[in-house]
Amino acid sequence: MVGERLVGLARVLDDSELVAFVHYVLVHPEYQGQKIAGNMVEYIRDKYKNYLYIEGMQEDSKNVAFYERHGFHVMEGGTPIQICNFSDKR
């Protein structure tokens, strides 16, 4: 929000335990380039850090470079972008 104006929006659905799916991260064109989308993705990563996977949607494959800058990886033969949070903590 900038004042009363909504300038960014993200939608994430999860299964309440293992996987969170990032459906979209949107920023109003007038506010793009101000790290708003990146901040939202970092918030998502932190919120779901205890989930095994955070996955992007197939439809978002045009934004792979953006997600790679935020720690996602392209997965062969499946989800275009994904973070695996597997660690010894589980």
The pLDDT tens digits for 27-83 are: 999 999 999 999 999 999 999 999 999 998 876 678 888 999 999 988 877 667 888
Listed in sequence order, the residues at least 6 apart from 40 whose beta carbon sits closer than 8 Å to its beta carbon are 8, 10, 25
pLDDT for 77-87, tens place per residue? Answer: 766 788 888 75
Cα–Cα distances in angstroms (integers) from residue 41 to residues 88, 89, 90, in the given order = 24, 23, 23
Could you say which architecture CATH assigns to the domain 8-84?
A: 3-Layer(aba) Sandwich (3.40)
DSSP state for residue 5 in the 8-state scheme: B
Q: 27 near 7, Cβ under 8 Å?
A: yes
Q: Could you tell me the pTM of the whole model?
A: 0.84
Cα 3 to Cα 13: distance, rounded to the nearest angstrom: 27
Domain boundaries, the chain: 8-84
Placement of tokens 């997965």 in the chain:
75
